[in-house]
Amino acid sequence: MNSYPVIKIENLTYTFPDGHAALRGVNLTVEKGMRMAIAGKNGAGKSTLLLHIAGLLDGDGIIEVAGMRRNRKTISAIRNRIGFLFSQVEYQFIMPDVLNDVILGLSKASCAPDDTYTAAMEWLSRFGIAHHAHRSPLDLSSGEMKRAALAGIMAGSPDILLLDEPLNNLDRENSEVLVNLLREQETTMLFSTHRAFMIDTLATHCAVMEDGCITTVLTRKEFKKSRVLRDLVF
């Protein structure tokens, strides 16, 4: 299978309205099938970069997602092809119960199934939360909430999954459950993390972000060997 870029970013810059330059010429390519971690200190610009790829912030430079160059005409099609798990996952539920949130996700898939109820319940089973189908997502534990959000996101069969600090608030057991579920997905992934565990068990590659720039992209093996870069995660 030939690999091709699912994300291509060239010279992306962004300054917040208060004058803070958060992205200072980001270049990054993520090819199909990669699971790329972004490691970097607090404030390096990881979340700002993910928000740009998701089409929620609009800096200068070139962004291509799933073969579409981002502009006013393509932005909604691009948003539709992206799944985004926010670091504060409670903000991303739209529907009043878990089941309907997944049904909403299914409507994003290019080929939505006829029997959405059954398909949604299957997604919830896969993520181990079918028994919470009729509860409000906001009443779930942090671990369950992340899995509920992910079930809805994956039901939309995104071309790329963006995850901002996916292990935020999770204990060890729930971190392992989440990483194992992510490993089962074939979707291309780009995720920010401070956790060595995520890089060691999930990533195929690791990009290093410093002061608004991607300074290095390494394979997981290379990252493991680099003492200096390894210190960015714990």
Which distant-in-sequence residues (6+ apart) come within 8 Å of 57 by Cβ?
A: 14, 48, 51
Q: Is 69 in the site for ligand ATP (CB under 6 A)?
A: no
Least distance in angstroms from the C-beta of 46 to Mg ion: 5
Quote the CA–CA distance of 40 and 193 in Å, as a whole number: 8
Return the number of the residue (47 or 216) whose C-beta is nearest Mg ion.
47
Q: Is 45 in the site for ligand ATP (CB under 6 A)?
A: yes
Q: Residue 129's closest CA among 88, 177, 162, 182?
A: 177
Q: Is 43 in the site for ligand ATP (CB under 6 A)?
A: yes
Return the number of the residue (114 or 234) whose C-beta is nearest ligand ATP.
234
Least distance in angstroms from the C-beta of 86 to Mg ion: 10
- What string marks each residue from 13 to 52 as x (binds Mg ion by CB under 5 A) or -? ---------------------------------xx-----
Strands 35-39 and 188-192, by their bridges, are parallel
For residues 190 and 38, the answer to whether their CB atoms sit within 8 Å is yes
Quote the CA–CA distance of 85 and 153 in Å, as a whole number: 8
Return the number of the residue (135 or 230) whose C-beta is nearest ligand ATP.
230
Number of residues binding to ligand ATP, judged by CB under 6 A: 12
DSSP tally for the chain: helices H, then strands E: 9, 10
Return the number of the residue (85 or 120) whose C-beta is nearest Mg ion.
85
CA 48-50-53 angle, to 5 degrees, is: 115
Least distance in angstroms from the C-beta of 88 to Mg ion: 10
Q: Is 219 left (phi over 0), alpha (psi -120 to 50) or beta?
A: beta
From 20, 69, 183, 225, residue interacting with ligand ATP (rule: CB under 6 A): 20
**Contact positions vs ligand ATP (CB under 6 A):** 16, 18, 20, 22, 40, 42-48
**Contact positions vs Mg ion (CB under 5 A):** 46-47
